[in-house]
Copies of this chain bind each other. A is one copy, B any other.
């Protein structure tokens, strides 16, 4: 394509020309097929990740078998967790999974470190990403602890639908999204259906009345 990928990152476009050039020349573009475990317990990444296309789901699977989705990384975002891991040599408890085919720019550890050392604006980018991630986690803790599940479910349905009018997912998967039980999801969805907001079929949910769903979801502060 005509435009180099750096320009499409809100935070990176502001970098000095020299820094951009280094990012471009020292990174490699890689295609990652859907379903790939990008990082996780035992899988330590060697590169910092800039997502050009696709989505990465970061989730936690506890030893009790419980599951919860922590956040997603979309095109135009970088994965700070990878960064933290890169520089601190720490394994994390969470795992990152390519939710679709992904195209990403990979910056090797040394280059990353060098960029942080030499470019003040790159430092700004990295720390802003950390800051964003941490405040998002705070928000998430608040929601898990205090938000009603119907509100969270409505919100997640809308988010997952991505302007389509239906979502291809199972009750079990939705439970994993919100960190709750399948039965709870089933009950809530039955109620949504009773109100005429959705239609259900096996492995699929049609958003019939998106407005009402959004109204409920908006309660989440």
Whether A29 sits at the interface, judged by CB under 8 Å, is no
CB closest chain-B residue, reference A90 = B131
Given contacts A62-B142, A117-B120, A134-B134, 14 further A-B contacts (CB under 8 A): A60-B141, A62-B221, A64-B146, A66-B146, A87-B123, A87-B124, A87-B131, A88-B132, A93-B138, A93-B139, A113-B123, A116-B116, A117-B117, A130-B130
A38 adjacent to chain B (CB < 8 Å) = no
Chain B residues with CB below 8 A from A135, complex form: 90, 92-93
Any B CB within 8 A of the CB of A84: yes
The answer to whether A1 has its CB under 8 Å from any CB of chain B is no
Nearest Cβ on chain B to A48's Cβ, whole angstroms? 12
Chain B: minimal CB distance from A170 (Å): 20
Residues in B whose Cβ lies below 8 Å from that of A142: 60, 62, 66, 68, 93
Count of interface residues, chain A, beta-carbon cutoff 8 Å = 45
With both chains docked as a complex, state the minimum distance between the C-beta of A220 and any C-beta of chain B, in angstroms.
10
- 8 Å CB contact of A84 from B86, B90, B130: B130
Q: Restricting to A56-103, which residues have a CB under 8 Å from any CB of B?
A: 60, 62-64, 66, 68, 70, 80-81, 83-88, 90, 92-94
Q: For the complex, what is the distance from the CA of A132 to the CA of B89, rounded to whole Å?
A: 11
User: Would you list 17 pairs from A and B whose C-beta atoms are within 8 A, ordered by A residue?
Assistant: A64-B221, A70-B141, A84-B134, A87-B131, A88-B130, A88-B132, A90-B131, A92-B138, A94-B138, A113-B120, A117-B118, A117-B120, A117-B123, A130-B130, A137-B141, A140-B141, A144-B145
Q: A108 at the A/B interface (Cβ < 8 Å)?
A: no
